[in-house]
Amino acid sequence: MRNVLVTGGAGFIGSALVRGLLEQPDVRRVMVVDDFSTGHEDNLREVADRVEIHRGDIRNYATLERLFDGVHVVFHEAAIASVPKSIEDPRLCHEVNVDGTFNVLQAAVDQKVRRVVFAASAAAYGNAPELPKREDMLPDPRSPYAVHKLAGEMYLRTFWESYGLETVALRYFNVFGPRQDPKSPYSGVLSIFADRLLAGKAPTIHGDGEQSRDFIFVENIVQANLLAARSEKAPGRLYNCGCGGRVTLNQVWDAMQRVAGVNLPASHGPDRPGDVRHSQADISLARRDLGFEPSIGFEQGMQRTLDWLRASK
């Protein structure tokens, strides 16, 4: 891969990916572009002397064109990754998630980047009842965020077919792990639960808690990105990135209480607009084409996340 760039590289997933890239023997130069609206400099502090960090906004094409010069692979992680925020401010989220993705692709073509790996979202599947979710299923986006991510996938395919830019879309399911800020409005449910647990407080679960998710530890996502950047079968394709199972939110909280040895019954609030009811990935295509096999399961990942939160307090 030699020279690589991560958009949103100071964020939760982006910073984990940066660490993974630094461990690759064929990577010589790692660059990050981030506007630090949700990313944090602390996420990169311990590797800052090995990474070129640039403050920039993906809505600014000129910034991307300048930074992409000489880059071989771009990992596009930058986004406003929040269903509620996309409902509250759809125009801003469209500008970042759709216009920003277009800028990444256009700059990649103009600067002759070889491949772009894109953080897509399982939100594109919506509430279709069939489980597990397969890549060939008809999308059913139920929020502006889901529409934005689906539009990004379609742009990727178009740039592959029209310009020969190698593109790979990875539909992330529910990612969790260290450096996911539990105080952020964009944070995932598991990190929020973990933060409440360590504070000795019960969470409020939206709805009845029987909604289910395919939780995947962030290091598994890093592995999927590295495989997608190298696979000869990947260009022009879309792959699910989950673990292939599902857990209800009630089960998540029960498991956390068992690990911590506490009893803190959760309260329940109203359903959250735009949320899907159930989500589970069929990862057979990623397994076949990429050799993707999640190596860290839910409970092991949950323990690592709790340990990190304890150490960071």
Q: CA-to-CA distance for 263 and 174, rounded, in angstroms?
A: 25
Q: Choose from 4-8, 38-42, 189-193 the range with maximum mean pLDDT.
A: 4-8
pLDDT of residue 181: 80
Q: Does residue 263 fall inside a structural domain?
A: no
Residue 290 counted as domain residue: yes
Task: Report how far residue 8's alpha carbon sits from residue 47's, in angstroms, rounded to the nearest whole number.
Answer: 15
Is 190 within a domain?
no
> Is 61 known to be catalytic?
no
In a domain, residue 41? The reply is yes
Euclidean distance between the first and the last CA atom of the chain, given in angstroms as a whole number: 36
Q: Tell me the per-residue pLDDT of 86-145, one tens digit each, with 9 for 90 and over.
A: 999 999 999 999 999 999 999 999 999 999 999 999 999 998 889 999 999 999 999 999
What tokens does 102 get? 């277009």
Indicate if the pLDDT at residue 17 is higher than 80. yes
Q: What is the DSSP string of 187-236?
A: --HHHHHHHHHHTT-PPEEETTS--EE-EEEHHHHHHHHHHHHH-TT-TT
| Residue 73 forms part of a structural domain | yes
**What is the rounded average pLDDT of the residues 288-303?**
94
In this prediction, residue 253 has a pLDDT band, given cuts at 50, 70 and 90, of very high
Quick check: is 185 in a domain? no
pLDDT level of residue 186 (50, 70, 90 thresholds):
low
Catalytic residue among 145, 155, 172, 239: 145
pTM of the model: 0.94
* 272 or 20, greater pLDDT: 20
CATH number of the domain encompassing residue 124:
3.40.50.720
202 belongs to a structural domain:
no
CA gyration radius, the chain: 19
Indicate the pairing of strand 247-248 with strand 212-213.
antiparallel
Report the SS3 class of residue 55. Answer: strand
pLDDT in the model for residue 218? 98
User: Does the pLDDT of residue 184 top 70, yes or no?
Assistant: no
Residue 305 lies in a domain: no
Inter-CA distances, 255 with 22, 260, 275, 300, Å: 34, 9, 22, 12
The whole domain housing 238 covers: 2-176+217-243+280-295
How many structural domains comprise the chain?
Answer: 1
Share of the chain above pLDDT 70, in %: 98
